[in-house]
Amino acid sequence: MIREAGDSALLLELGEPVIDAELNARAIAVARAVREQAIPGVRDVVSTFRSVAVFFDPLSADVAAVAAALHDAENAAPTSVAGRTVDIPVVYGGESGPDLAEVAAFARCAPEAVIERHTGTVYRVYMLGFLPGFAYMAHVDATIAAPRRAIPRLRVTAGSVGIAGAQTGIYPRESPGGWQIIGRTASTLFDQAQLPPALLAPGDRVRFVPTPESALAGFNPTGGTLKAGTAKGTVDRFVSILRPGLLTTVQDLGRWGHQGLGVPVAGPMDSVAHRVANALVGNPVDAATLETTLVGPDLRFGQETVVAIAGGDLWPMLDGAEVPIGAPLRCPSGSVLRFGDRRSGARAYVAFDGGVDVEAVLGSRATHVMSRMGGVQGRALRAGDRVALGPATARAKTRPFSAPRSQGGARLRVLPGPQADYFDGSALDALQRKRFTISAQSDRMGYRLLEAAIAGHRLGDMISDVMLMGGVQIPPSGQPILLMADRQTTGGYPQLAVVITADLPLAAQLGPGDWIEFEVCRRADAIAALVAAEGKILAFG
C-alpha cells in the first residue's frame, strides 16, 4: 500500500508491522530500484523493516511518477537480498557490559550462557536509524530477549552492544539509550570521513565474536573521525564569536540522501528565512548561514562584510545602533553585531556575503549536534571560535524582504500522517479541538506539546519506521511531539498528522511557552500554499 506522508513524501508498506526477513528484503530491493532511477526532485529513498519512504520536493517532483516507480519496483522486488557477512569482536560483561547480569537473571541462566546464545546467532541487519550507523539487527535468541530498561541511561558509551527484545544493536557513538548493554566493541560503526561512512548496510549479516578486554585498548570512544570546519585558524575572511548566544549553529539546506544510513537531514528550522537571508547578500540559496535561537550571539567582523538577518526579531544592533531585519547591512572591519531581547519569532538567520565556509560533510555544512556532524566540529558555536567565510560577493539586494512572524502561537495546517490508521476516527478531530503549549523540553529535534493529550487512541503497536519533519508523533502518554529539523531518521511512535511544508517556517519561529493549534487540510491546499510562498521568494530573488 502506498500512503502519502505529508506533502513531501510517499510511504510504501509491504506487509504487516512485523520483523520479517522476506518483507525486509523486498523493502531493500524496492529502495535500491527507486534510488537507481534518479527521479528528478527525489531527495532521499529509505528502506525500513517493511516499508520504503521516498522524500521529494513537492514543487519539482512528479508525484505520480514516484508512485509508479514504487509500484513497479514492488512488483519486481525479490524476496531475498545478498549482503555481506561482517564479524564484530565484542568484550562481554564487566564495565563493557553492565547489564549482562540483569539479562542473565531475565533468562535464568549464567552470564556465560547469555554470551554463548548471543554469539551463537547470525543476525540480519534490517535497517539503519536512531543514530548514524546504528543497525537494527534480529533475531535475538528468545531466552535472552530482555526488554528495554525501564529508565534509559543518559549516556551509553560508543561501541556498546545492546539487546532490546528480539533486537540487538551497537551504539556508534555516545548517546542516551535504553537497551540492555551486555558488551562493547572497538569496531567503528560510522566514520563520516570514509565512503561509505557506515560499516553495516541493510541486508548484511553480522556475527558477534567474543574477544578479550585488551581488544579495547586505544579505542576511540567518539565513534569515528570528526570531519568538520575548524573553529580557529588562519583564513582570509572570518567572523569571531564573542558570545555564542543560547544555540547558534551553522546550517545550510540539509544533508539529504543519507537517511538510509541513519544520518539526519538537519538544515534550517526555517528554510524560508535561511533562503531570504542568503538572497539579500547575493548568495546561492544553499550557502551556509548561522541559525540563532531565542538569544542571539555577539559577532566581530575581521574585515568589511555584507550581512543580512532574516526570520525572528532578536533585536540586532551593530556597534550599539539598531539595524533592520530583512535588509542587507554593510559591517566595517572590527565592528560588532549584537542581539538583544527576543521581540518576535524564535530563530534568526545571519547570512554573510560569500557564506560560512566550513568543510562539507557528506555533501552538507549543516550542523547536527547529536551526531556531532557538520558545522564547526559538529557542535554549537562557542566564545572564541573564528568561523571562516567564503570570498566576498557584490550582488546584495537593495530592497528589504518582510515575512509574517508568529506572535505567541500559530495555527498549523496538517495532513493525515502515515500512521493515522493506528488511531480511531476521533483522533484527528481531537487534535484539531485542542490547544497545545510548547514545553521548555523542546529543541531542534522536536517540540513537546503540553496541556492536552491525544490519549487512548492507538489501535496497535508499530515497529520503527521513517520519521518526518512536521510529523505529529503520539507516544503512549498521549502528549504529542512535533518533529523538527534534527529529528531522528526513524522512530517507534506513530505519526497521527504531518504539518504541511508551507507552515513549517511558522512552526520554526515558535518557542517554549507559545501555543499551537492544528487544522486538517487537503493536499491541494498544501500545494497551493507552498506555491504561493515560493512565488513570493522567487519574485524577490
Write down the pLDDT at residue 229: 47
Q: Is the pLDDT of residue 54 over 80?
A: yes
CA distance 209 to 343: 58
Q: Is the pLDDT of residue 461 over 70?
A: no
- Which residue from 230, 509, 209, 247 is spatially nearest to 382, judged by alpha carbons? 247
Write down the residue that cell numbers 542516551 correspond to.
176
Read off the C-alpha cell for 150. Answer: 525501564
The pLDDT of 223-243, averaged and rounded, is 67
Write down the pLDDT at residue 396: 65
Structurally, what CATH architecture does the domain formed by 409-540 represent?
Answer: Beta Barrel (2.40)
pTM above 0.85, yes or no: yes
Q: Annotate 108-137 with DSSP letters as a single string.
A: TS-HHHHHHHHHTSEEEEEEE-SSTT-EEE
- ∠ CA(489), CA(11), CA(43), 5° rounding? 60
- Average pLDDT over the chain reads 92
Gyration radius from the chain CA atoms: 24
Q: Annotate 381-406 with DSSP letters as a single string.
A: --TT-EEEB--------SS-------
pLDDT digits (tens, 9 = 90+) for 198-223: 999 999 999 999 999 887 876 665 54
The pLDDT of 307-320, averaged and rounded, is 96
Topology at the third CATH level for domain 87-216: Cyclophilin (2.40.100)
Q: Which residues of 422-434 are buried (b: 16+ CB within 10 A; e: fewer)?
A: bbeeebbebbeeb
| Per-residue confidence band for 106, with pLDDT thresholds at 50, 70 and 90 | very high
Write down the residue that cell numbers 505519526 correspond to.
495
The pLDDT of 40-58, averaged and rounded, is 97
Q: Is the pLDDT of residue 225 over 50?
A: no
pLDDT digits (tens, 9 = 90+) for 134-169: 999 999 999 999 999 988 899 999 999 999 999 999
Query: Which CATH number describes the domain made up of 2-76?
Result: 3.30.1360.40
Please count the helices (runs of H) and the strands (runs of E) in the chain: 8, 33
Separation in Å, CA 449 to CA 111, 207, 439, 477, 510: 42, 42, 6, 11, 12
Q: Is the pLDDT of residue 245 over 80?
A: yes
pLDDT exceeding 70 applies to what percent of the chain? 93
The pLDDT of 23-46, averaged and rounded, is 96
Write down the pLDDT at residue 406: 66
Q: Is the pLDDT of residue 172 over 50?
A: yes
Q: Is the pLDDT of residue 304 over 50?
A: yes
| Per-residue confidence band for 232, with pLDDT thresholds at 50, 70 and 90 | very low
Of 63-72, 402-411, 486-495, the least confident = 402-411
End-to-end, the C-alpha distance of the chain in Å comes to: 40
- Which residue from 363, 377, 381 is spatially nearest to 222, judged by alpha carbons? 377
| Per-residue confidence band for 541, with pLDDT thresholds at 50, 70 and 90 | low
Residues contacting 369, CB < 8 A, separation 6+: 249, 378, 379, 380, 444, 486
- ∠ CA(278), CA(284), CA(288), 5° rounding? 60
Beta bridge partners of 416: 497
pLDDT exceeding 90 applies to what percent of the chain? 83
The pLDDT of 345-374, averaged and rounded, is 96
The pLDDT of 428-445, averaged and rounded, is 95
Q: Is the pLDDT of residue 231 over 50?
A: no
What are the domain boundaries of the chain? 2-76, 87-216, 238-388, 409-540
The pLDDT of 234-248, averaged and rounded, is 92
87-216 against 409-540: fold identical: yes
Write down the pLDDT at residue 255: 97
pLDDT digits (tens, 9 = 90+) for 390-425: 998 767 666 667 666 667 999 999 999 999 998 988
